[in-house]
A and B are shown apart, each in its own frame.
Chain A
Amino acid sequence: MKLVAEKRQTSSKLFRFSAPLISILVALFVAGFLLLAAGVSPLQAYLEIIKEALGSTYGLSETLVKTTPLIFASLGVSLAFRMQIWNIGAEGQIYMGACGATAVALFSGLENHVMMITAMFLAAFLCGGAWAGVAGILRARWRVNEVIVTLLMNYIAILAVDYLIYGPWKDPKGFNFPLTAQFSDAARLTEYFNTRLHSGFFLALVCALVLYLFMERTVWGYEIKVIGSNPKAAQYAGMRTGLAIFAVLFLSGAIAGIAGFSEVAGLQHRLQHGISPGYGYTAIIIAWLAKRSALGVVIVSFLMGVLLVGGDSLQLSWQLPVAFVYAFQGLILFFLLASEFFIQNRVRLVRGTSHD
């Protein structure tokens, strides 16, 4: 008896659509054992996650609050993934976007709400884009590995924010806490239903729709896909791959930068340490689970939002570290990658020795 893997003629449709779901379920199962080993009852923990994140209006609103930055960051990351460009730096781009928006909010002196918000949005867009654009230029011009550059720039971005809030941007009336001053009302997004849910969430939905149309209905979207799947053919067809690499990384970072804008303008109303507790990394998983589709990103971001809100409450009730969510996300990715094998191959049990 022997296990044999055979290539499928056509990839299994059933598997292709159910694979992300199955991966999440298997990851939940395996993570359950990790929780058990850490002395936490997995069943209770999972029930608590669902209850906290979905069981009340407040919980649901908090989940949407966390979903918002995830949508922006994942849209940015998936745009680059489409072209086989690895933007692992969404985390830093969020921080830079927040920096840009904060600079406008604190120092522009604008008083008109619409103008202020528009200026903050543009600043975040440009800062996030420029931050990723550095990796874009290096990659397009000298083929420098963008994975490493975007990732290392995360550390620099977080330190840059620390520098600003401990130094020049520190609120003089803030009792020496490392925070900037609070934003004026003009620089705050509207909140709804007496919760922390702000208009950033709706902006994220619009952004997803725009990106969907861009990817599926425009020539540029098509070129991105072609360059990603076959750069040589793209070059023969006259596509300017170098420029496209820079443009896509810039746009990818810019969209992630909007997450920074939405966080400071909609939620925190100031710049402080830990604006993003790893949204940029979670975005990588979301992009992969959603198969780089803009609409898939919205759904998976919501699922991850549930996990993050639930994870926060587990931290309080079971003293679980927040970072545990990463272990779970890593597991999901492993199982998803493994499941892709079953989409391409059929595994059978064969009696006797197999022909090799």
Chain B
Amino acid sequence: MIEILLDATVRAGTPILFATLGAILNERAGIINLGIEGLMLIGALAGFAGTFASGSLLVGVLAAFFAALAAGCLHAFVTVQMRGNQIVSGLALTMFGIGITALFGRGMVGATIQGFERVAIPGLSQLPIVGNAFFNQDLLIYFSFLLVVAMAFFFYRTRWGLALRTAGENPAAADTCGVPVSLTRFLAVIIGSGIVGIGGAYLSLATTPMWIENMSAGRGWIAVALVIFASWSSYRALAGAYLFGGITAMQLRFQAMGTTVSAHILQMLPYFFTILVLVISTIRLQKGASQQPEGLGQPYDREDRK
């Protein structure tokens, strides 16, 4: 029972994990991205279409990454180059994503592909309780583990990571030190968007190997909230994403067991808990030192430097 739940937790949490990691990359560089929901949809459709056309899952994942990256360019251009309002631009990106995937997804409705399959890691997958859930999964899940570690390494152990964090914390200081602030922010936004796209692709290539209009169903917004819960750390993002995977898994389990509680009420739980967690982590952040990048949400213009 626990093994099954844990397995469902990881599978439900993975798309949110990718989305949260992508959002963290954006926000670490100082750019709020509320387009996560739209980017996930773009990733989901591009991933599905790529796999459908080529028969290769790798092509699908790459298509998702680059399609979301291209859409992220819109947000990056408006917020970094044009110094436009980041909140409004992100909302525009979400709407654009919902609309454009509905338009171009028409031909993909009802199509089927062979989705990701489980690959057991010899030895580790035999571990009691956690073995099956963490080491008998598909390749994208293993990739997400790798990405969590790689991102923490990038932020805290590399020069570029430091430059990116400085561009988010104090762009004027970063500029003085020779960090190309605009370029750094631009790249963080588009690569982060690409990672969000992979989260979308997980939905259409692994969770349910098909394309459904608006299939992200609010997961992008949950990811935006989880960034605050994770206090901009990739390890905590993993914990947050699995927390929500867990709630989703339990909710589905309850439904499968045929409880008398309405399915509609159960479906509210992930959103309800996201709000709860958001409130708790916001209060906690205010008590301790805030981890939020200082320059988050503020456009940088060298001429305004004081």
Residues of A within 8 A of B (CB): 7, 34, 37-38, 86, 88, 138, 142-145, 147-149, 151-153, 155-156, 159-160, 162-163, 166-167, 281, 284-285, 288, 319-331, 333-334, 337-338, 340-341
Which 7 A-B residue pairings sit nearest by Cβ, starting from the closest? A327-B99, A330-B96, A337-B84, A326-B99, A333-B92, A323-B102, A330-B95
- Min CB distance, A336 to chain B, in Å? 8
Query: Within the complex, what minimum Cβ distance (angstroms) separates A171 from chain B?
Result: 17
Alpha-carbon distance between A281 and B224 when the two chains are bound, in angstroms: 18
Q: How far does the Cβ of A307 sit from chain B's closest Cβ, in whole Å?
A: 12
B93 close to A (CB within 8 Å):
yes
Q: Which residues of A contact B87 (CB under 8 A)?
A: 86, 147
Complex Cα gap A156–B87 (Å): 22
Q: Do residues B271 and A152 form an inter-chain contact, with CB atoms below 8 A?
A: yes
Contacts of A325 in B (CB 8 A): 99
B106, A327: Cβ atoms closer than 8 Å: no
B104 at the A interface (CB under 8 A): yes
Within 8 A of A (CB), among B81-107: 82-85, 87-89, 91-100, 102-106
Given contacts A155-B218, A323-B102, A326-B102, 17 further A-B contacts (CB under 8 A): A7-B303, A142-B279, A142-B282, A147-B34, A149-B278, A163-B262, A284-B88, A285-B92, A320-B103, A326-B95, A327-B102, A329-B99, A334-B78, A334-B93, A334-B96, A337-B88, A337-B92
The verdict on A340 contacting B95 (CB below 8 Å), with A145-B228, A152-B222, A160-B264 known, is: no
What chain B residues lie within 8 Å of A156 (beta carbons)? Answer: 268, 271-272
Query: Whole-angstrom distance between the alpha carbons of A156 and B83 in the complex?
Result: 34
The answer, yes or no, to whether B163 is at the interface (CB within 8 Å) is no
Interface centre among A151, A166, A288, A319 (most CB of B within 10 A): A151
Assuming the contacts A333-B88, A334-B96, A337-B82, asked whether A148 and B74 have C-beta atoms less than 8 A apart, the reply is no
Residues of B within 8 A of A (CB): 34, 38, 74, 77-78, 82-85, 87-89, 91-100, 102-106, 213-214, 217-218, 221-222, 224-225, 228, 262, 264-265, 267-268, 271-272, 274-275, 278-279, 282-283, 286, 303
A to B contact number (C-beta, < 8 Å): 145
Residue of A nearest to B91 (CB): A284
The answer to whether B224 touches A148 (Cβ under 8 A) is yes
**B85 → A minimal CB distance (Å):** 6
Contact A159 B264 (CB under 8 A): yes
Q: Which residues of B contact A163 (CB under 8 A)?
A: 262, 264-265
Q: Considering the chains assembled together, what is the distance between the CA atoms of A325 and B87 in angstroms?
A: 20
Alpha-carbon separation in the docked complex, A325 to B99 (Å): 6
Q: For residue A329, which residues in chain B have a CB less than 8 angstroms away from its CB?
A: 92, 95, 99
Is A324's CB under 8 angstroms from B82's CB?
no
Q: For B283, list chain A residues within 8 Å (CB).
A: 142
For A159, the chain B residues whose CB sits under 8 A away are: 264-265, 267-268, 271
Contact present for A330 and B99 (CB under 8 Å): yes
Asked whether, in the complex, the Cβ of B100 is within 8 Å of the Cβ of A327, the reply is yes
What is the CA–CA distance of A323 and B303 in the complex, to the nearest angstrom?
Answer: 41
* In contact, B99 and A337 (Cβ under 8 angstroms): no
Determine the chain A residues whose CB is within 8 A of the CB of B214 once the complex forms: 323
Point out the residues of chain A lying under 8 angstroms from B228, CB to CB. 145, 148
Considering the chains assembled together, what is the distance between the CA atoms of A138 and B74 in angstroms?
32
